[in-house]
Amino acid sequence: MATKTQIYKEVLREYDALRTRKAAELRERKESLYVRFPRLAEIEETLSMVGVSTAKLVLLHPEEREKAMTEMKQKQQALQDERMALLAKNCLSPSLLKLEYACEKCRDTGYIEGTPCTCMRRKLMDRLYDQSNVRDVIKLENFDTFDLRLFDTEVVPAEGISPKENAQRNLKKAMEFAEHPEGENLLLYGGAGRGKTFLCNCIAKEVLEHGKTVLYLTAGQLFKQLEDMRFRNKEEEEPFDWDSEILDADLLIIDDLGTEFATMFTASELFRIVNDRKLRKRPVVISTNLDYRALMEQYSDRVMSRLIGEYTTLKFFGDDIRMKKKYR
């Protein structure tokens, strides 16, 4: 399994290869056009020479700098106008003579003023998904494969509805959330095997297909990454900023909350994540086997005031559908 440093270097090599390929494509287009339209090649060569000759003139006669610069701009404009007219006459786009970018924002460098571009973040996230096999999982677990037949139709007196009716409600809400996750958070709770993780995978696949970044971690993975980051040697190279991704990913999914080893650190970090993402208006989906009482006991009142007071809750109950699915 590749390390995060190896993944980062691999992505950078991809950007280098992409820029090289785009430059080669531009050369091929130009060569093809110059064969068909020799005047385009002449214009290109003259344009490059105008600047050189003007620079020489300014060096030899600095007192004529303004005049030389004005004449250079006029010549350049006249040549550019001629080139545009020639292209238009032959129904050709000016973009044929320009370098094309897969990402116009970062110009295929992966960075915008030293900050990773969205395209780079998505590439890194894709690699991490490939490493964790989540992509394979969401091929099988998605809204198209959500099977309501697995849920019982008998009404549970304490709930007032059947597990199937409840699953239908949860499915509808999850689909609405996945379509427009902005400004809302979900808390999925209930016993093991009721379909919470399956629904998390459904949401992840849908949001990914909308071109957004999704960070999907179990609670154990989440806090392990944060511990490693907090307590690692400060001199160690860490090109993939986990803390930034946890806070800035378009959607954060925390599965199996409560199964991690609970400490003051985990409670503090959970509050920080929930609170910071709220301030950044970044949605969170949390899945847990714990009920409200158990969550209260394991985490601080500050955390629970966020989760219970501000998250849309989806309760899961009924039989263990994993066993039903296994023996269908």
CA nearest to 197, candidates 300, 90, 110, 288 = 288
Q: Is 240 a residue whose pLDDT tops 60? A: no
- Where does the pLDDT of residue 127 fall: very low under 50, low under 70, confident under 90, or very high at 90 and above? confident
Cβ neighbors of 315 (< 8 A, separation 6 or more) are: 159, 166, 170, 189, 190
Lowest mean pLDDT among 48-52, 76-80, 93-97, 309-313: 48-52
d(CA 40, CA 213): 43
E strand residue ranges, 16-175 = 111-112, 115-116
Q: Percent of the chain, pLDDT > 70?
A: 91
d(CA 136, CA 286): 21
For residue 289, what is the DSSP state? Answer: S
Beta bridge partners of 269: none
What's the mean pLDDT when you consider all of the chain?
A: 85
The pTM assigned to this predicted structure is 0.66
Calculate the CA dihedral of residues 236, 241, 247, 250 and round it to 10 degrees.
Answer: -160
Q: Is 277 a residue whose pLDDT tops 50? A: yes
Residues 164-188: what's their mean pLDDT? 93
d(CA 72, CA 149): 76
Residues found in the chain: 328
Residues 160-171: what's their mean pLDDT? 95
Calculate the CA dihedral of residues 88, 91, 92, 94 and round it to 10 degrees.
Answer: 30
Q: Is 117 a residue whose pLDDT tops 70? A: yes
Q: What's the pLDDT score for residue 234?
A: 56
Residues 212-222 pLDDT 10s: 778 888 999 88
- Where does the pLDDT of residue 1 fall: very low under 50, low under 70, confident under 90, or very high at 90 and above? very low
Q: Is 161 a residue whose pLDDT tops 90? A: yes
- Where does the pLDDT of residue 49 fall: very low under 50, low under 70, confident under 90, or very high at 90 and above? confident
d(CA 46, CA 128): 49
| Cβ-based neighbour number of residue 232 at 10 Å | 10
- Where does the pLDDT of residue 309 fall: very low under 50, low under 70, confident under 90, or very high at 90 and above? confident
Q: What's the pLDDT score for residue 306?
A: 74
